[in-house]
Structure 1
Amino acid sequence: MARWEPGARERLVLAAVDLFSEQGYDGTTVTQIAERAGVTKSTFFRHFPDKRELLVAGQETLSRLLAEGIAEAPAGSTPLEAVAEGLARASDEMGPMNRALGPRLRAAVAASAELRERDALKSVGMAAAMAEALVARGVADAPARLASEMGALAFKRGFERWSSGDRSDDDPLAGYTRAALTELREAAAALG
């Protein structure tokens, strides 16, 4: 086993998701994850403090991208238009590995209460990053929070549809997240 190989972090995430799906979260050890990824246990701990953190790998980057997209939205954009810019920025960074990982990740999360909790915290973190970016643009707190929650839900719904879709199409995630945001906007308008 090599001491260092490029892509170790990604291999660890893939190995963990596969093992969580195969034998459950509780039945999977850090040693097994490291072995499946072809790295040492110490390499695992250089990338992650524990196996729970594998689920939120990339959350900081995702939240940063969402916030940057909102911050760079054209002047005069409504809160939801700014959120759409954040969704586009974050979506542009999602590639084939993210798409392939989606269904396996959903299965692993569905099978574990602890992973469902971590997934919920991930959504909270995304919404908080978007709300902060909206407030920084001068949006009042309540509309910023509502728009950010809609953005987090749109990202989740769009990602689920994109990653569950036909693998032969190479449509980018951004179209799915924008469509989900449009659906949510229309649903909110129908509430009266």
Structure 2
Amino acid sequence: MARWQPDAHARLEEAALKLFAERGYKAVSAAEIAGRAGLTKATFFRHFPDKPEVLFWGQDLLGNTFRQTIADGAPGASPLELVRAAVLAVDPVFDADRHRHAATRQRLIASSATLHERAVLKRAALAHTMTEALQDREVAAGTAELAGLAGTAAFGAAYARWAESPAYRGFAGLARRELDRIVNAAVSLS
């Protein structure tokens, strides 16, 4: 095996998703993923801290984008406007290449209680990131938490629709619709 080859991260992800689809998530080891990608097990763990992260990588990028977008928001912007901007700011992450395996990724997560639990924890971490970013802008704790949860709910619903779409479509349009839907639902509670 070569010591260094380009695109190791993408090759590991591709190999993992193909193996998971062929044999099921539980039946595949990190060593097998690395072998299929023509890499070593050590290389796998340089790119992913554990096997589940193959399905969840990018969390830091999403969280950082949410945080920075909220921090950079216009003075006087409402918490909802800041959260809307944050959710829309991640649109470039969800490109056609990432969409190729999105449905497989969703099926695998839905098929495993452990993976589903990790997905819930990842969404909770994103909500917490938005909440903290809003609080850093002096938004009251309860309002910040509610806005962060609403933003995360909209993000999750938009992602699910984006992933299940058989043909690639932009994430931003779906996110706008989900944000509007959640805001309208919240208004109707009064």
What is the TM-score when the length of structure 1 is the normalising length?
0.91
Aligned residues: 190
Match of 1:187 in 2: 185
Match of 1:173 in 2: 171
Match of 1:122 in 2: 122
1:18-167 aligned within 5 A: 18-167=18-167
Distance in 2 between the 1:71 and 1:50 partners? 31
Match of 1:8 in 2: 8
Are the aligned partners of 1:55 and 1:119 in contact in 2 as well (CA < 8 Å)? no
DSSP-derived class of the 2:56 partner = coil
Q: What code does the residue aligned with 1:92 have?
A: P
Distance in 2 between the 1:187 and 1:38 partners? 49
Gaps of 5+ in 2: none
Deviations 1:7-60 (A, max 9, x none): 211222232233223322221111111122232212101112221222331111
Could you say if the C-alpha distance between residues 175 and 146 of structure 1 is closer, same or farther in structure 2, counting changes exceeding 3 Å? same
DSSP-derived class of the 1:107 partner = helix
Are the aligned partners of 1:24 and 1:112 in contact in 2 as well (CA < 8 Å)? no
Identity level (%): 39
Deviation, 1:165, is: 2.4
Gaps of 5+ in 1: none
Q: What code does the residue aligned with 1:134 have?
A: L
| Displaced runs of 4 or more, over 3 A | none
Q: Which has the higher contact order (CA 8 A, sep 6+)?
A: 1
Deviations 1:125-153 (A, max 9, x none): 11111111111111111111111111111
Deviation, 1:5, is: 2.1
Are the aligned partners of 2:127 and 2:148 in contact in 1 as well (CA < 8 Å)? yes
Deviation, 1:82, is: 0.2
Deviation, 1:166, is: 4.8
CA-based RMSD of the aligned residues comes to 1.6
Q: What code does the residue aligned with 1:24 have?
A: G
Are the aligned partners of 2:106 and 2:163 in contact in 1 as well (CA < 8 Å)? no
Distance in 1 between the 2:23 and 2:185 partners? 39
Deviations 1:75-131 (A, max 9, x none): 111111100111121122321122222101111101111111111111011111111
DSSP-derived class of the 2:146 partner = helix
Distance in 1 between the 2:3 and 2:144 partners? 46
Deviations 1:167-192 (A, max 9, x none): 2x6x4211211211110000111112
Are the aligned partners of 1:55 and 1:118 in contact in 2 as well (CA < 8 Å)? no
